[in-house]
Amino acid sequence: GQSLEQPSEVTAVEGAIVQINCTYQTSGFYGLSWYQQHDGGAPTFLSYNALDGLEETGRFSSFLSRSDSYGYLLLQELQMKDSASYFCAVSANDYKLSFGAGTTVTVRA
């Protein structure tokens, strides 16, 4: 099976940078995804890494190290609207995603 660990909460001020780490254990690893979920809403896809390195999409970047079974999501220039839960998820050699428990990011003025 798969297991993922990520911090439960992170708090930061507007304009700051936040890094959310995710470590995983899985067999048949394909890639690591990140999803954002605002309170009471649907999760939405943010990024995906299949190869080692950094992927940048606007203010958000995601990193993967396959050898370390580790990845992170970097949120830059934090805005109030970034207050949400962020989930890492691994995809293995099937069509399923296994999600972490989520990290609640609170942005303060």
Partner 1 sequence: DGGITQSPKYLFRKEGQNVTLSCEQNLNHDAMYWYRQDPGQGLRLIYYSQIVNDFQKGDIAEGYSVSREKKESFPLTVTSAQKNPTAFYLCASSPRTPIPHNEQFFGPGTRLTVL
Least Å distance, CB 33 to partner 1, is: 7
CB of 88 to partner 1, least distance (A): 9
Is the CB of 39 or the CB of 109 nearer to partner 1? Answer: 39
Which parts of this chain interact with partner 1 (CB under 8 A)?
1, 8, 30-31, 33, 40-45, 48, 50, 87, 91, 95-102, 104
3-class secondary structure per residue, the chain: CCEEECCCEEEEECCCCEEEEEEEECCCCCEEEEEEECCCCCCEEEEEECCCEEEEECCEEEEEECCCCEEEEEECCCCHHHCEEEEEEEECCCCCEEECCCEEEEEEC
